[in-house]
Amino acid sequence: MSDGRALARQYLEQQRLLGGDAVILSDSRTVAQSDSDDTPAIVGRVLASARRPRSDRPTVRPSDPGVRPSDASLPPPGISCDPPSADLFAADPVSQAGTLQAVAALVAACTKCRLCAGRTNTVPGEGPDDARLVVIGEGPGRVEDETGRPFVGKAGELLTKILGAIELPRERVFICNVVKCRPPENRLPQYDEIAACLPYLHRQLELLKPKVILAMGGTAAQTLLDTKQSLGALRNRVHRFRGIPVIVTYHPAALLRNPNWKRPTWDDVRIARRLLD
Ligand code: SF4
């Protein structure tokens, strides 16, 4: 390989690592020439392509196959879900709960669905009242049920690492689940259980007014956005819940089972981070 061609390869590799635009050499004659004595011309064209003003370059859309979210501004808009807010004059105690602690107290005494029968502790959620990011999972597991805290155990440790990677200490995030009591054998919460528990989550979001919501797993995403679309279809979009941006990604427990999803999850949480900034 000539020095010029090695230089071009090195430059392109640097561009790839830096997330630069792809440079496609479609003219086979050009490539063939580069093997011989015309390599400096190719290097010149590559450098010219890199130096071209960004406005002259082809538009990169996040929906294009193979394009990482980091290569574009933000993903396109998705579902906008806008359920009615709590009626201030309603007699319903959940609507009347004025603080997160009041919501947690109502949850602690709740018997509105069958999940109350098997719980050790309710798991209403935890985090500061002024959290800018709210993370929503599916429901408590065994360790959560034992401790009354959300996202503890291995999945919780992974969530803490994920949040740390976007420079958000867990203590600054409000973390909760769709249902506040553990489904037996860690099965999926059933439709009527979700419907019974949802007012608590809606009230928590009304009180918190976060800047961004991260829905982890299909149950959280589908419940919040009131849709049956798959998690795969919901990812890489900026959805809205009452106007608040919602990013959908994999549940940490799923990442423990399938490490291949760590990279796409990393892409998703970086989108959430950008929305927070
Ligand atoms: S899961 Fe929700 S609705 Fe069901 S008993 Fe627990 S707090 Fe109440």
Query: What pLDDT, in 10s, does the model give residues 93-118?
Result: 999 999 999 999 999 999 999 999 99
Res. 270: pLDDT tops 50 = yes
Residues 6+ apart with CB under 8 A from 67: 60, 61
Nearest Cα neighbor of 254 from 224, 232, 273, 236 is 232
Phi, psi angles (nearest 5°) of residue 189: -65, 140
- pLDDT for 49-81, tens place per residue? 333 333 333 333 434 334 444 445 799 999 999
The stretches of the chain forming alpha helices (DSSP H) are 3-17, 28-35, 39-51, 93-96, 100-108, 142-147, 153-165, 191-208, 218-225, 231-234, 252-257, 262-276
Beta-bridge mates of residue 77: 238
Q: If you measure from the C-alpha of residue 138 to the centroid of ligand 1, how many angstroms do you get, rounded to a whole number?
A: 13
Ligand 1 pocket, residue 224 CB under 6 Å: no
**Which residue from 122, 190, 219 has its CB within 8 A of the most atoms of ligand 1, so it is best to mutate?**
122
Q: What is the pLDDT of residue 88?
A: 67
Tokens at 168, concatenated: 């958000």
Ligand 1 atom closest to residue 189's alpha carbon, by position in its atom list: 1
Confidence of residue 194 (pLDDT cuts 50, 70, 90): very high
Tokens at 127, concatenated: 């985090």
Among the residue ranges 11-15, 87-91, 238-242, the one predicted with the least confidence is 11-15
Tell how strand 244-249 and strand 238-241 pair up.
antiparallel
Ligand 1 pocket, residue 197 CB under 6 Å: yes
Q: If you measure from the C-alpha of residue 111 to the centroid of ligand 1, how many angstroms do you get, rounded to a whole number?
A: 6
Q: Cβ-count burial of 131 within 10 angstroms (0-12 exposed, 13-18 middle, 19+ buried)?
A: buried
Res. 246: pLDDT tops 70 = yes
Tokens at 87, concatenated: 């009626």
- pLDDT for 201-226, tens place per residue? 999 999 999 999 999 999 999 999 99
- CA dist list (Å): 38 to 31, 210, 215: 9, 57, 53
Tokens at 83, concatenated: 């359920």
Ligand 1 pocket, residue 155 CB under 6 Å: no
Ligand 1 pocket, residue 181 CB under 6 Å: yes
CA angle 218, 224, 230 (to 5 degrees): 30
Ligand 1 pocket, residue 201 CB under 6 Å: no
**Which residue from 111, 112, 192 has its CB within 8 A of the most atoms of ligand 1, so it is best to mutate?**
112
Q: If you measure from the C-alpha of residue 116 to the centroid of ligand 1, how many angstroms do you get, rounded to a whole number?
A: 6
Ligand 1 atom closest to residue 111's alpha carbon, by position in its atom list: 5
Q: Which residue is associated with the tokens 């998705």?
A: 78
Q: What is the pLDDT of residue 91?
A: 82
What is the CA 46 to chain-centroid distance, rounded?
A: 36
**Ligand 1, atom 3, residue with closest C-alpha:** 197
